Amino acid sequence: MATAAQGYYELYRGTSIGLALADTLDDLISSRRIEPQLAMRIMQNFDQSIASVLGEKVKARMSFKAHLDTYRFCDEVWTFVIKDVKFKLDNGQFVEAERVKIVACQSKEKQQ
């Protein structure tokens, strides 16, 4: 999660690109090509960069209908689990899913 010094959530580290970056950094540390402190700084830069790019560059929209299964609010983070989800994408396509987990955090700009 975000700390005062860090300022960004680590949500995107679990994505395929975040996991690939972490694996690559682990390999570089194992082969003694970089120090662990540098890898930590790179991951923090990744957290900041991906949050900024997704917030500024992605303009796609969608809507969905679903049944709310569970929800919780902890440490300024909302988590929702919804079932029988029907997504309508901005290009008119429909996508269905049995279960979806949504994690919602306040953006950095609104935290200040």
User: 71-80: per-residue pLDDT in tens?
Assistant: 999 988 999 9
Q: What CATH number does the domain located at 62-107 have?
A: 2.30.18.10
**CB-based contacts of 55, cutoff 8 Å, min separation 6:** 107
Distance CA 24, CA 54 (A): 22
Ramachandran category for residue 103: left, alpha or beta (phi over 0 → left; psi -120 to 50 → alpha): beta
pLDDT given for residue 110 in this prediction: 53
Domain ranges of the chain: 11-57, 62-107
Distance CA 68, CA 2 (A): 27
pLDDT at 9 over 50: yes
**CB-based contacts of 30, cutoff 8 Å, min separation 6:** none
pLDDT at 95 over 90: yes
Fold (CATH) for 11-57: Helix Hairpins (1.10.287)
pLDDT given for residue 109 in this prediction: 58
- Beta strands 62-74 and 94-105 are unpaired
Greater model confidence, 67 or 54: 67
pLDDT given for residue 7 in this prediction: 65
**CB-based contacts of 29, cutoff 8 Å, min separation 6:** 35, 36, 39
Residue 60 φ/ψ, nearest 5 degrees = -65, 150
Put simply, whether the predicted model's pTM sits higher than 0.85 gets the answer no
Q: What is the average pLDDT across 65-71?
A: 97
Distance CA 71, CA 51 (A): 23
